[in-house]
Structure 1
């Protein structure tokens, strides 16, 4: 049998089982065990390491390394946006040629995959470079306006206080360029061959970056997001054939795959079991939130993180089991959401920490000493330089408002 995890846009997925087609021989029990065990293992890697990196990602040197906070309003709207996108993709595949759509998607994910993989391997590669490696610093800077007009425009927008409006300020070094070159090799491999190993490298990079950089601001927001996607997944898998159709037509690294006939055919195997990235990232960002909550308690324990991590393994195992019992596409979030929310809540009830859990605000830990702005006029490459520039702006503004003693 061919086990599949059918995913929709951005990897928000369900999971399912379908008979092998195209004259394929049924997968052996050993091959299925290897495939599903590998998928579970690959799913756990980005969740575990992405959660760890989410704790320190706000200390990155570029604004692109700063986390994106998901609020309760964002969480409530996400299932609606995801549904519209899914239906739009379905109509696109029905109206236009699948070949041309997938060509455009391949180019798009080729660029995204290279950047995501480079960002993923950069911390690991930095430890492998020798101490005497000739590392040079670079900066990519785009500012608003040219010449004197730039300064005048900046003054007008900031009540006469000189300020250069930066559009992009990206700092990198030679080590980053090496990582980018290595990732480009994988990108070309994926673009030319669509090999499942290259697909998985990109998929793991997307998942880890998602768990690391997408931050839920509190547990209530996490419950809203997971609850909404719970119903989203159930409806589009059980209620229609839209998700399954899009998943089978969508050729992009938004899923992890592993061949069930690897033992028989080696690296050229093509009878794949698949797991959508949404079944990794969506529970993963909630698990990462609980890790940050554990750290905020300052008890030197990671009780809620490990509880939710085990709950994810349990939920994914239930999903795989149900797929093989009913031999029908299953919405994985149907089993993952109750497990990932229910287990930690049960632990919080036992420990009497429910109030602390729901009052925890993760967004308050991002640049805690930096004044909060409702509008950022620039994308700064350094959190510390961003804080300094805002402090200078506030100081200048304060000096302008002070009364002149001589006039009194």
Structure 2
């Protein structure tokens, strides 16, 4: 009898434990299901990628227009513009590869938190300056007349006389200070929250400034640069996991992001689609060159700019389509480079302007023969003037 009672108690205890374990496993499964990201709806995906396409097009359009204005300003003042040479274009993919692999190794060796802390501080400073430069014309136009525009000039030089060099030569006003304060507030918001809107504000500022200020001198230099980066992008995305790893680990405004679940979660959404700034700036500086070429011909139609911009749009749509179908990261330049290079060549071939397109230069470089002639003429003039002055002196002495 006692054995039967003990056996029944044991069975009851086993049943209780099994029920407890079963409930715990069920709760764990439920928690894991709730923690998983819900798949985005087709509408949310369409909104995210549509927004990324618009955000990619805007920096190219505005940056190209600003590059034309900057080009005209430097030509009028006679200032030499910093342009990318053919040699720079050839080495650029190699330098970019070394930098990318270096970042990848840093993320493998050191903790991501510490690396991202340093990078965040660095990009905070750059982002505030870039955003202030971008917002300056807008804020100056909206500034009320009650706020005085007091000019300032910081001028720091080295040496004296002929050896005098400018180290800092910066002019600004009280309106620029207000603009810098506003940009700094946005920067602090990014530092504290890392919100995707603040990230995109910095990213757009970087992209527009990059397209505006990075100048390709001629069409051939652009072809060399795009061709090199075409193979660079394919290798690092398809050949290795380096590009994807760095893009996911790198917490800095070097990419534009937009949430695919924004329709469900609003501004606090977290499932992001992304596009690297390199896929905007690199084709963007090439398209900006074509706009300056159109502008140099002083014609009403900007056929090279608009046709290549449309080709960029189609290349971007092809990238998104393939990425969505195959569910794998795509090297955007695989689609963008052929579209952006092939379109102006086709237009030039149809219009019979291939030679004109290849001959165009933003800042024509003097040939060595012409330089030598100029130097000879200058030395001849100097020697002639010195001999004439000697003759005059001798006459005076007589």
What's the TM-score once normalised by structure 1's chain length?
Answer: 0.80
| Matched residue, 2:97 | 83
Runs of 4+ displaced beyond 4 Å: 398-402
Aligned-residue CA RMSD in angstroms? 2.5
For 2:145 and 2:339, the matched residues in 1 are separated by 46
The structure number with the bigger radius of gyration is: 2
Query: Is 2:68 the counterpart of 1:43?
Result: no
Q: Which has the higher helix share?
A: 2
For 1:170 and 1:70, the matched residues in 2 are separated by 24
Shift of 1:68: 3.0
Structure 1 counterpart SS, 2:273? strand
What's the TM-score once normalised by structure 2's chain length?
Answer: 0.82
Give per-residue Cα distances to partners, 1:133-190, cap 9 Å, x unaligned.
410111111111xxxxx32xx44x4xxxxxx321110111111111111100100000
| Matched residue, 1:331 | 331
Structure 1 counterpart SS, 2:331? coil
| Matched residue, 1:188 | 188
Query: Is 2:114 the counterpart of 1:129?
Result: no
For 2:265 and 2:90, the matched residues in 1 are separated by 45
Against the structure 1 CA distance between its residues 166 and 401, is the aligned structure 2 distance closer, same or farther, given a 3 Å change threshold?
Answer: farther
Unaligned runs of 5+ in 2: 1-33, 372-377
Shift of 1:364: 4.0
Deviates more, 1:288-297 or 1:130-139: 130-139
Unaligned runs of 5+ in 1: 1-20, 145-149, 158-163, 374-394
Against the structure 1 CA distance between its residues 89 and 22, is the aligned structure 2 distance closer, same or farther, given a 3 Å change threshold?
Answer: farther
Structure 1 counterpart SS, 2:363? helix
| Matched residue, 1:113 | 127
| Matched residue, 1:175 | 175
| Matched residue, 2:310 | 310
Structure 1 counterpart SS, 2:138? helix
| Matched residue, 1:392 | none
Shift of 1:399: 8.3
Against the structure 1 CA distance between its residues 273 and 167, is the aligned structure 2 distance closer, same or farther, given a 3 Å change threshold?
Answer: same
Shift of 1:331: 0.3
Taking the TM superposition and a 5 Å limit, the aligned residue runs for 1:99-110 are 99-110=113-124
Against the structure 1 CA distance between its residues 262 and 180, is the aligned structure 2 distance closer, same or farther, given a 3 Å change threshold?
Answer: same
Against the structure 1 CA distance between its residues 262 and 165, is the aligned structure 2 distance closer, same or farther, given a 3 Å change threshold?
Answer: same
Taking the TM superposition and a 5 Å limit, the aligned residue runs for 1:371-390 are none
The structure showing larger relative contact order (alpha-carbon pairs under 8 Å, at least 6 residues apart) is: 1
Query: Is 2:231 the counterpart of 1:231?
Result: yes
